A and B are shown apart, each in its own frame.
Chain A
């Protein structure tokens, strides 16, 4: 069996159902083998979109997403997608063709050193120089991608290796002597954590992306309700704890709620689960939870005390560690938290999330997101682009279920949302998949309208069109004296663009049309691209200016 077939067989053994990719000279043997394979192939119109689609597939299912591109430019086009997956701990396997082994290092046609380029943005990567190593490499790659802290793995596969013949034997298991992630918290540390919980008067739980990744949402709900502690849900954690639960503080951080940020600032104990204390969460480090002891549950030891000094670290899988804590906690030993809850209720009523809209004025983007939330009853899978659209989606769509929110957090990749939504819809054909985009970011991978139309992928694209790069414009308005440098956009007619790709396009200009338009979009059988004209100078509030403490919020705070 040749290397290309071995790759296909190995992917089949790993349960791969779909590959997102783009052909090219160094992967022709692979595509030839794919021709006879039951694995579904989705041809994106740009390799970057293939990487993001594999990522969206992975985030929405927890399964490993697979993308493939040819050597050189095909492979370098995957790089942004790989870096995006790396920042948000998403399990993908990226396969790249490479020039012949005999030509590597010769500056051959379409040669790029992909293992070198992706070293710092993958969990691990491989250059397979001999076909006898191929099957094991695939096995190891899938194992590494989706165990411990998940992440992207790259396999660089020279074209001649794809053509070499060898017997196909797929290994039963993987043995990596250096890799043994801790799955359970150390019992002594669990006891220490419980002691801190028992002594706390003003505790807050901070739930991060690790809750979603490890599938710990049930355990977290049990934990929070058992110890009766409010939960701030980070951007990456959205859906990991129900936003509509009375204990929810919604999202903390730069564009978080006043009550989440104030609760963290006043807390005497912060129990962080699967959150790596990104600077968008903490703001100025000295001002972050200054009165609190910190318990940090994380599977990755490098997250511990990286940014925030931790008092009790619990290295392990969030689901397991929360299970351990749930067993160890005795409700009778907890302090009465009614004063603390009263205080939080006060903040909630004093600083609610909100926006002002006049019926005669322009449409507010928040209203559109709220209306989508209402009409989908909170059950849709929401993908977003990056910028204001992303923050409004995070603030005004209430996420109650895990893996229903697909967005680039750590890297903040514009152009991510659309292809990621494609991957998510392929993985979840039964779900209503909605992309909330900006007029800037939708154009970063707008060629994927061709992919929608080719495979008739039913995604509803909602463009919040403010004719500018809104988030940067907001910073320019607030901190750069309204000097709108590089941010105004002259856009195409999105309805005509959609039409050109054979997709339904609509334009919504007035507030009075919004409800009906959303109803029409959601009930339409097939993809729609909708251009919502919104208030151009609308800002995302509240906002913590970069480098400030998180209780120093502007806008939306009395």
Chain B
């Protein structure tokens, strides 16, 4: 099962490597990871989506993270209310039939066309995990030229 956890970490070089090597050394599976500075420039926030087989493994992952000296706190969103967002940038070929699909998408979902060229439409999709899933299902019906996706970020309510 996928769990969203968040680690506040010291904003020092090597911290990402410490977290990443912890996960690889212990065989934990990261499905997404997003890192960025917080309001306090001495701290970064990592939002990590992990696959944990059971409660014990999830607890172990949290404890192992907390054990790293550069990790300040660990928050588990599994039983908490939170808001999350994922960001996708996606190029779609500029042909007539795609235009119709995109117009439909924009009406229904938080999708924006942020650039148009002779060759493509550039879409920006910013939504929560559930919605992203639905949007991608629609988008994948047409031909995608290029798609990039950022890790999920989350904030507690």
Most B C-beta atoms less than 10 A away, residue of A115, A176, A302: A302
A116 at the interface (CB under 8 A from B): yes
Out of B17, B67, B70, name the residue touching A302 (CB < 8 Å). B67
Most A C-beta atoms less than 10 A away, residue of B14, B66, B67: B67
Are A178 and B70 touching (Cβ within 8 A)?
yes
A24 at the interface (CB under 8 A from B): no
Out of A115, A179, A300, name the residue touching B69 (CB < 8 Å). A179
Are A176 and B69 touching (Cβ within 8 A)?
yes
Chain A positions within 8 Å of B25 at CB level? 120
B94 at the interface (CB under 8 A from A): no
A454 at the interface (CB under 8 A from B): no
Q: Complex Cα distance A124/B22, Å?
A: 12
Q: Complex Cα distance A179/B14, Å?
A: 18
B18 at the interface (CB under 8 A from A): yes
B45-74 contact mask (Cβ, 8 Å, vs A): 1 or 0: 000000000001001100110110111110
A304 at the interface (CB under 8 A from B): yes
Chain B positions within 8 Å of A306 at CB level? 60
Q: Complex Cα distance A331/B73, Å?
A: 41
Are B56 and A309 touching (Cβ within 8 A)?
yes
Q: How many residues of B contact A (CB 8 A)?
A: 19
Q: How many residues of A contact B (CB 8 A)?
A: 19
B10 at the interface (CB under 8 A from A): yes
Are B56 and A300 touching (Cβ within 8 A)?
no
B21 at the interface (CB under 8 A from A): yes
Q: Complex Cα distance A176/B70, Å?
A: 9
Out of A144, A178, A302, A305, name the residue touching B64 (CB < 8 Å). A302
Chain B positions within 8 Å of A300 at CB level? 67
**A116-B17, A119-B18, A120-B21 known; A304+B63 contact, CB < 8 A:** yes
Nearest chain B CB to A271's CB is how many angstroms away?
21
A177 at the interface (CB under 8 A from B): yes
Q: Complex Cα distance A176/B56, Å?
A: 28
Are A305 and B21 touching (Cβ within 8 A)?
no
Out of B56, B59, B69, name the residue touching A144 (CB < 8 Å). B69
User: What are 24 A-B pairs with beta-carbon distances under 8 A?
Assistant: A115-B14, A116-B17, A119-B17, A119-B18, A120-B21, A120-B25, A123-B69, A124-B69, A127-B14, A176-B69, A178-B70, A178-B71, A178-B72, A178-B73, A179-B69, A300-B67, A301-B66, A301-B67, A302-B64, A302-B67, A304-B63, A305-B56, A305-B60, A306-B60
Sorted nearest first, the 3 A-B pairs with minimum C-beta distance are A178-B72, A124-B69, A302-B63
